[in-house]
Structure 1
Amino acid sequence: MYIHGSIDFTNLNSDNHRECTMTLHRDDLTAYLTDFLQPDTFKDYCPNGLQVAGKSDIRRIVTGVTASQRLIDEAIERQADAIVVHHGYFWKGEPSPVTGIKRNRLAALLAHDINLYAYHLPLDAHPEVGNNVQLAREMGWEITGEIEGTLALMGRTSGPETGASLRTALIDAMEFDVIHVGENEDEIETIAWCTGAAHSFLQQAIDAGVDAFVSGEINEPTVHLARESGVHYYAAGHHATERGGPEALGRHLAQRFGVSVEFIDLPIPV
């Protein structure tokens, strides 16, 4: 189960009581994340990688889902040298002027010389630390394949489930008031999922013949499509379903480089 708050991965080093003293150069971290997450292989809605350059030497990293002002403030309080998130800045179609909220966020990062890294689709799809893989591990689902042309994975539940029991399991794991469209007593064995705002993949999941599809969000047409197709739909929270990737990436970086990495969870109600 996810625990709201923060998780410090520093003590994943061999000496569980040793204060982390390792230093990582920004260019080395950038090169490693590029090689590990392969952002150039994705056609994305934002730039992936180093979005805001800060100090060259990195000892403390904060990871989170979204680079909100609140996360930046938490990173400043912890004297972090870098922030690594799933949702960063500079999305396609957003206004270009650096004013208002955008100015405030960038000003805080620059004033404290904090690097900001963001990985959107690469962190959804990664086979080791990706959001989709982490959701499967959290739920105990067996991965059997993927839905062609999407980032969605397919698999089987860890044991017998009904429409109602799967919702309960998701609520317990995600700590979110999951929306379920479908009959509570129906049996569910096969499942597909894609974290975040992937409700548009429901038709592909229907075509793949699964019993249920899980994502983070839902809209009005999705309700009708699920009801009329008979495929169960679960909206388990955009933020809630995408905590796994940043948290797992943080663990990986702590183990790989010995730097201090802390995952900070700032839940939202959608």
Structure 2
Amino acid sequence: MMNNLELEQILNQKLNSQAISDYAPNGLQVEGKAEIQKIITGVTATQALIDAAVAKQADAILVHHGYFWKSENPCIRGMKGKRIKTLLVNDINLYGYHLPVDVHSELGNNAQLAHLLGIANLQPLEDSPHSIPMFGELSEAISVNHFATRIEQVLQRKPTVCDASEFSQNAPHLIRKVGICTGGGQGYIDLAAQMGCDAFISGEISEQTTHSAREQGIHYFACGHHATERYGIKALGEWLAQQYGFNVEFVDIDNPA
């Protein structure tokens, strides 16, 4: 059992959230009961996740995608109103950590996905200590098809693959150096190409992403925003359970996007 504000301090310190500029507030977003023991973790604070937390009599929800994003309508009504009302009526705390969960060197989305895919020695792709995209290396160079199969086996979903060798003679035949940015990080493909990556992984794909891959000779794998970001918040919850004895349960509300 721990005070909700004390838990926020622990999470802020572990994720170094104060040092990272973000598009939404990181930390305790909706305040509930003062004492916390049961925590539900999940990718996004959807109504389905909140309902699951209510059914499981949770004291808190910890997510990667919380509320109060910049430029969104501030009015608490409709879908947003129902979500927040459910939290308040049931006295459930909502903690949200966005970019701090993406970039954490141990528990972050990039680090966790890289580990699962066998990408080692992660380093910043940007010239910043809080670089969002990263890059690392596979222990041995593999083909595009082999890597696509590995991704599908790990994430249990088939990635969208841009095999640049079909359009560019400069594209590498094998993949060794891999750039990675989970979620909506497809815009970093140009930086990955400039840094000499053989391939780049993200969650989503845009119309221009395909052209960047083909024309710059870098293989691209769009693996799903939700699918690539399941693992950071899950790892954070497991860390809380191990270090502080919380009863933590990860609930995966699947999303095909």
Same fold, TM-score > 0.5, yes or no = yes
In structure 2, stretches of 5+ residues that fail to align are 167-171
**Residue 264 (structure 1) aligned with residue 242 (structure 2):** no
Task: Quote the residue 2:105 is aligned against.
Answer: 127
Letter in 2 for 1:47: P
1:135 Cα deviation (Å)?
0.6
Secondary structure at 1:265's aligned position in 2?
coil
The percentage of counterpart residues that share the same residue type is 44
**Residue 110 (structure 1) aligned with residue 88 (structure 2):** yes
**Contact 2:111/2:122 (8 A) holds in 1:** no
**Residue 241 (structure 1) aligned with residue 241 (structure 2):** no
Q: How large is the Cα RMSD of the aligned pairs?
A: 1.2
Distance 1:54 1:151 in 2: 31
Task: Classify 1:261/1:144 alpha carbon distance in 2 versus 1 (closer, same or farther; 3 Å).
Answer: closer
Task: Quote the residue 2:52 is aligned against.
Answer: 74
Letter in 1 for 2:233: P
In structure 1, stretches of 5+ residues that fail to align are 1-22
Matches within 5 A, 1:150-161: 150-161=131-142
**Contact 1:136/1:143 (8 A) holds in 2:** no
Secondary structure at 2:256's aligned position in 1?
coil
Range with bigger deviation, 152-161 or 225-234? 152-161
Deviations 1:61-101 (A, max 9, x none): 00000000000011111000000000000001111111100
Distance 1:158 1:218 in 2: 26
Q: How many residues align?
A: 248
Distance 1:39 1:136 in 2: 22
Matches within 5 A, 1:1-270: 23-149=1-127, 150-182=131-163, 183=165, 186-270=173-257
After TM superposition, the runs of 4+ consecutive aligned structure 1 residues lying more than 2 A away are 183-186
1:144 Cα deviation (Å)?
4.4
1:160 Cα deviation (Å)?
3.0
Distance 2:158 2:122 in 1: 27
1:28 Cα deviation (Å)?
1.2
